[in-house]
Amino acid sequence: MKKGKKIRQLFYVTITTFLLCSGMLFYNNALCAKCNDIVETTSNVEVAGAQTVKAVIDLTAGELNLSGGANALMEAEFISNLNNPEPEVNYVVSGTAGVLTVEQPITNNRRRIPFRKRCFNHVNEWDIGLNNNIPIDVDLKTDFGNLDVNLDGSSISNFILDISAGDAVLNLTNTQSLDKIDVKHDFGSFDANLTGSSIADFKLDQSSGDIILNLTNTQSLDKVDVKHDFGSLDANLNNSNISDLHLDSSAGDAILDLSNTQSLDTIDLRHDFGDLNINLTGDRSTDLNANIDLSTGDIFLKLPTDIGVQVKLPDSISVTVMHEMNENNDNTITNNAFGSSNVSIFVDIDLDFGEVTLDLD
């Protein structure tokens, strides 16, 4: 093919693509004008004698802000331009137990988002406030959208979250009635702050997205179980009362601050690809057994000086020791306090490809 013919074909393709894109932009803008007007509605629900409440919130798609501080059981505002803009709100009290439901309206026998056809600028925002003094179990589900939960100092008891796609930010600090959190999250970032809460059991199953966890000063915390496929993890459990930590991750770097976790006795960490940075310094009241299984990546361990430490390593792995430690013939490395301290840390590393760095505080 001649060079001139190639240039003409390229010119025609470029002009055609430009015209198609311009036409689509014009078409979409014209269609956006067909969107419904934005409607603002409110809903207030009184406690009506209930002593405990289960709140079920099902937002199919949109933005949800959930907070405390309501004088009633719930004080909510909804902003939407959907065909059915107002959610269905129901509240039933049986004895001393109440059940509150806030759901997307049913359309064509299905609980789905009632989009207006040919509208590309949908709005669906829920701003829900809950009472701080009533013990509430929250069961929250959404398919697509971002969540901002701020229940600092509330009396929430259990928190269940099921989100398909979207970012989630949880502030549950100083929630002194909180017992359990169970989160299933497919796609999006997850940021949870539970500093000073009474949580005992934390479970997170996330497919893809970065995770930030702050569980410092959680004195009732017993177990943390995290399953994570893709994305980074930054978890701070400093000064928590955790005893059992399980992490199963596929790909991404992980930072774990486990300093001053005096009751921590079991770590089970399985990771496929990515670097691990783990801090095990600080006071300890019981022996710790840590199993670290990493396929590919580097491991950095920050270890205490005055508590006995034994690190068992696989053959033919490169090891860097930042301070004086004892390299033994049985593929273990120990610090000088090992065998003489009241409690000890035992770390068993299974690493296929990568390097290990050991540092003392």
pLDDT tens profile 237-274: 999 999 999 999 999 999 999 999 999 999 999 999 99
The pLDDT of residue 67 is above 60: yes
Q: How far is CA 251 from CA 27, 139, 168, 245, 246, in A?
A: 41, 29, 20, 18, 16
* φ/ψ bin of 14: left (φ > 0), alpha (ψ from -120 to 50), beta (otherwise): alpha
Rg from Cα positions in the chain: 27
Tokens for 315? 């053959």
Is the model more confident about 33 or about 168?
A: 168
Picking from 358, 360, 346, the residue whose alpha carbon sits closest to that of residue 305 is 360
CA–CA dist 212, 189 (Å, integer): 8
The pLDDT of residue 225 is above 70: yes
The pLDDT of residue 13 is above 80: no
* Secondary structure of residue 217 in the 3-state scheme: coil
Tokens for 5? 């013919």
Q: How far is CA 318 from CA 184, 352, 356, 357, in A?
A: 37, 11, 6, 9
* The pLDDT of residue 120: 61
The pLDDT of residue 15 is above 80: no
* The pLDDT of residue 18: 52
Residue 281 near residue 300 (C-beta atoms within 8 A): no
* The pLDDT of residue 283: 92
- Dihedral of CA atoms 333, 271, 278, 358 in degrees, nearest 10, equals 30
* The pLDDT of residue 324: 86
Q: Which residue has the tokens 């079920």?
A: 56
* The pLDDT of residue 1: 46
Q: Average pLDDT in the 310-314 region?
A: 95
Q: Average pLDDT in the 18-38 region?
A: 49
Mean pLDDT of the chain: 89
pLDDT in tens, 153-207: 999 999 999 999 999 999 999 999 999 999 999 999 999 999 999 999 999 999 9
* The pLDDT of residue 8: 47
CA–CA dist 41, 259 (Å, integer): 48
* The pLDDT of residue 316: 82
Confidence at 119, pLDDT banded by 50, 70, 90: low
* The pLDDT of residue 264: 97
